[in-house]
């Protein structure tokens, strides 16, 4: 068994994120038990921020 830099490439086999039960995105962290997209497992409210939507001034349709 060798050690060093060549061996470190073998540490990328598993996947940290699986499909989330709540939002359906592949963002649920297996070890943390928290969804990175919607916050499932951490909060009962859906994770959302103001910077997700473009700010619209004046009249017109809201842009998402």
Using H for helix, E for strand and C for coil, what is the string for the chain?
A: CCCCHHHHHHHCCCCCEECCCCCCCCCEECCCCEECCCCCCCCCCCCCCHHHCCCCCCCCCCCC
Q: Which residues are annotated as a binding site for Zn(2+)?
A: 20, 23, 35, 38
**Can you say which residues are annotated as belonging to the binding site?**
20, 23, 35, 38
């Amino acid at each position: 068994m060798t050690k060093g830099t060549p061996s470190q490439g073998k540490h990328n086999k598993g996947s940290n994120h699986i499909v989330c039960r709540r939002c359906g995105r592949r963002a649920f962290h297996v070890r943390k038990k928290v969804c990175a997209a919607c916050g499932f497992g951490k909060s009962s409210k859906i994770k959302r921020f103001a910077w997700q939507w473009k700010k619209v001034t004046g009249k017109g349709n809201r842009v998402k």
